[in-house]
Chains A and B, each alone.
Chain A
């Protein structure tokens, strides 16, 4: 009897508690729906920063006919959740978007072409001209993604270590390798270059590939990433780890956190990344000890690096396309862009007028990055890029780094995956 009471009581308590909690959290009644509702999805680097929330409040206050509601989704799950929601017919009207996914989503007819809206958008002339291509499938075709924030890859190096070793900052592949070798000392757990073979490493890799003269596609859009030239550059990249051992032994699975951590802790002398990490790196190592350079090139006369665009899209299934475009184009206007780029999660502004502001043009990290924008190359808008950047590159790069397959095999696999 007594025993039962105890269990019964616990069960009853649970039930009552559940009911109370649910009742307490019932959603409030909605207000009269005068303004058009735009549902917007995004990921943020640091959700504790109120920057975006303020932007939305400002937009809603200045656009009484539109009400933006946003949903914050962690980047690592963003693509998958988007696919699920869109497939169920419950996707957002607009969202932040990566160029990685552009080809895939256009092929699925998931994105709204924005040619007409863009033509009417007054801000269009201010966008750095060649960045429009990151949002298109063909140069003459419509814009699917409105450029917003982008990055170009550059090279961080430990200025103090270079000075100590009497090394000059490298401009070519040879200088780079020589410096990396000189600064590698496995006994001290110190390596020349933080090579990223794990998740997300494809951008860093592609920066070196294009700087070495390889290209993803030719002018007709044909995939040539497995061409003999590309195989050679890729071989060079693989040998950094395999033959010259200038990268930490953990390189095959090192992702962003590990590569950044190793550079911050003084385990590596150089790291390829972009403005997204400049504050973290300088805070930890001191501005004087961190130098920044364009990605070294095989031929210094032909510099190249890679650019990645985070833009905004309107989804084809949206019933509020016009209002959605009003919001995303507002994000790409002068003041909101400056607010975003100048925040903790800021990347390079795509507007010429904003990039000329002193806070960007006088910041060495932004400056090297913006210079890189002139010759930067982005992922081609092929349907397979999403898959390549999410898994195929990683698996095959790692197999190559471990010596399980050769440079050519790896690139063949990637070429195959790109053209899916």
Chain B
């Protein structure tokens, strides 16, 4: 027990020392009405905030949007990243440069990702509209960010763009770790590229895929920079996600207690999803013994 403790202690010190208090405080807050500048007046309200959840018409919309957001973003980021990783794993002149360039979306600060996509999606002078109209796909400019049905997908598109290199890098690293002899062997056996991919590559990538998608899901669930700038959760509540709702409630309505409660709803749901996911992972032998 000594060795694990020694190896884990820095990480534990960091997490317990720095993160435990904020999280504990968030849980504590959800049972209190906080007077932000007069802490002495803060009072215990029991389950009041949790009861308020039941009457909050917005939380249901936000939950739905969050599910669409997380699933949409992670699925397409993953697919785009997988394709990228496979391409970048091939040998071609200038590969190092291309690999570096491939990181650009991820390396661009969120505020600029949001501004550039807002600009490109603009309904009056946007690049995307212009291209689609010129290509004859659209007859008229579409206000992508102002229509309830397209606002969330438009922000998802921007985030997919930003996140593809994440998966590309992670999967590329995993591909690199696969011994080339395996491919050689499969090729000698006369397997088609598709069969090699399905029966050799994919199973070997699976552990990495499972872990990175889970980490990305957690990250995406709480990521709201793009939504905040591109739509502010609108039009109406069309692209309002749970953390954004929690943020508005806490910082704009100055109701920190209820804001924390909203966040806790998401924490519980995510935690449940992770437990299920980890079981699956364990069933897939080997990631967590």
Find out whether A and B make contact in their complex, taking CB atoms under 8 A apart as touching.
Answer: yes
Residues of A participating in the B interface, judged by any CB pair closer than 8 Å: 79-80, 83, 86-87, 104, 108-110, 186, 189, 197-199, 248-255, 257-258, 261-262, 265, 267-268, 316-317, 386-387, 390-391, 394-396, 398-399, 401-402, 404, 420
Residue B232 is within 8 A (CB to CB) of chain A in the complex: yes
A108 and B37 form a contact (CB under 8 A): yes
Q: List the B residue with the shortest CB-CB distance to A108.
A: B37
How far, in whole Å, are A317 and B9 apart by their CA atoms in the complex? 40
Contacts of B72 in A (CB 8 A): none
Q: What is the total number of residues of chain B having a CB less than 8 Å from a CB of chain A?
A: 31
Closest 6 CB pairs of A and B: A250-B123, A250-B143, A399-B236, A398-B235, A390-B252, A252-B235
Q: Are B123 and A248 in contact (CB under 8 A)?
A: yes
Q: B residues touching A (Cβ–Cβ < 8 Å)?
A: 35-38, 118, 122-125, 140-143, 145-148, 151, 231-237, 240, 248, 251-254
- With A197-B235, A398-B235, A401-B235 in contact, do A267 and B143 touch (Cβ < 8 Å)? no
- Measured CB to CB, the nearest residue on chain B to A194 is B124
Q: Are A390 and B248 in contact (CB under 8 A)?
A: yes
Task: Give min CB distance, B136 to chain A, whole Å.
Answer: 16
22 A-B Cβ contacts within 8 A? Answer: A80-B251, A186-B140, A198-B232, A198-B234, A199-B232, A248-B123, A249-B123, A250-B122, A251-B143, A255-B232, A261-B124, A262-B125, A268-B124, A386-B254, A391-B233, A391-B248, A394-B234, A395-B236, A398-B234, A398-B235, A398-B236, A402-B236
Judged by DSSP, the binding face of B is loop
**Given A387-B252, A391-B252, are A252 and B38 also a contact pair (CB < 8 Å)?**
no
B37 closest partner in A (C-beta): A108
Chain A proximity of B234: nearest CB distance (Å) = 5
Cross-chain contact B236 with A404 (CB below 8 angstroms): yes
Chain A nearest Cβ from B26, distance in angstroms: 14
Chain B residues near A317 (CB-CB < 8 A): 37
What CA separation (Å) do A317 and B231 show in the bound complex? 36
**B244 → chain A, closest Cβ, in Å?**
9
Contact B232 A265 (CB under 8 A): no
Contacts A250-B123, A396-B236 supplied; 17 other A-B pairs, CB < 8 Å: A83-B251, A108-B36, A108-B37, A109-B37, A189-B124, A198-B234, A249-B146, A251-B146, A252-B143, A252-B146, A252-B234, A253-B146, A254-B146, A261-B124, A268-B124, A387-B252, A391-B252
Q: Which residue on chain B has the smallest CB distance to residue A384?
A: B253
Give the chain A neighbours of B123 by CB distance below 8 A.
248-250
- CB-based nearest A residue for B236: A399
- In the complex, the answer to whether B125 meets A87 with C-beta atoms within 8 Å is no
Checking B36, B125, B146, B248 against A261 with a beta-carbon cut-off of 8 angstroms, the contacting residue is B125
Does the CB pair A109–B141 fall under 8 Å? Answer: no
Contact B37 A110 (CB under 8 A): yes
Residue of A nearest to B234 (CB): A398
The answer to whether residues A250 and B251 also contact, given A395-B236, A395-B237 and a CB cut-off of 8 A, is no
**Are A387's CB and B253's CB within 8 A?**
yes
| Least CB distance, B127 to chain A, in whole angstroms | 13
Tell me whether A253 and B234 are in contact in the complex, defined as CB-CB below 8 angstroms, given that A108-B37, A248-B123, A258-B122 are known contacts: yes
Q: Assuming the A-B contacts A197-B235, A250-B123, A267-B125, are A386 and B252 also in contact, with contact meaning beta carbons closer than 8 angstroms in the complex?
A: yes
Q: How far is the CB of B38 from chain A (nearest CB, A)?
A: 6
Provide the bound-state CA to CA distance between A42 and B140, in Å: 43
Establish whether residues A108 and B141, one from each chain, have CB atoms under 8 Å apart when the complex forms. no
**A250 adjacent to B37 (CB under 8 Å):** no
Chain A residues in 8 Å Cβ range of B143:
248-253
CA distance A255 to B141 in the complex (A): 18
Residues on B with C-beta less than 8 A from A186 are: 140
- The reply to whether A265 and B124 form a contact with Cβ atoms under 8 Å apart is yes
Closest to A390 in B: B252
B35 contacts across to A, CB distance below 8 A: 108
Taken together as a complex, chains A and B put the C-alpha atoms of A198 and B124 apart, in Å, by: 15
Contact partner of A420 (CB less than 8 A), chosen from B124, B146, B147, B253, is B253
Q: Which residues of A contact B233 (CB under 8 A)?
A: 391, 395
Assembly CA distance A391 to B251 (angstroms): 11
| Residues from chain B with Cβ under 8 Å of A189 in the complex | 124, 140-141
- Interface pair B124/A109, CB less than 8 Å apart: no
B145 neighbours in A (Cβ, 8 Å): 250, 253
For B146, what are the chain A residues with a Cβ–Cβ distance below 8 Å? 197, 249-254
**Cα distance A398–B251 when bound, in Å?**
21
CB distance from A110 to the nearest CB of B (A): 5
Asked if residues B37 and A86 are in contact (CB atoms below 8 Å), the reply is: yes
- In the complex the two chains form, is A253's CB within 8 Å of B37's CB? no
Contact check, A253 vs B237: say whether CB atoms are below 8 A apart.
no
CA distance in complex: A262, B119 (Å): 11
Name the distance in Å between B229's Cβ and chain A's nearest Cβ: 8
Which residues of the partner chain B approach A268 to less than 8 Å between Cβ atoms?
A: 124
Report whether A265 and B125 are in contact in the complex, using a CB–CB cutoff of 8 Å: yes
- Measured between C-beta atoms, what is the minimum distance from A93 to chain B in Å? 15
Which residues of chain A have C-beta atoms less than 8 A from B254's C-beta? 83, 104, 108, 386-387
A87–B36 touching, CB < 8 Å: yes
Residues of chain A within 8 A of B234, CB atoms compared: 198, 252-253, 394-395, 398
Max chain A C-beta neighbours (<10 A), residue from B124, B143, B234: B124
Min C-beta distance of B224 to chain A, whole Å = 13
- Expressed in whole angstroms, the minimum distance between the Cβ of A352 and any Cβ of chain B is 35
CB-CB under 8 A from B38, the residues of chain A are: 108-109
Distance from A210 Cβ to chain B, minimum over Cβ atoms (Å): 24
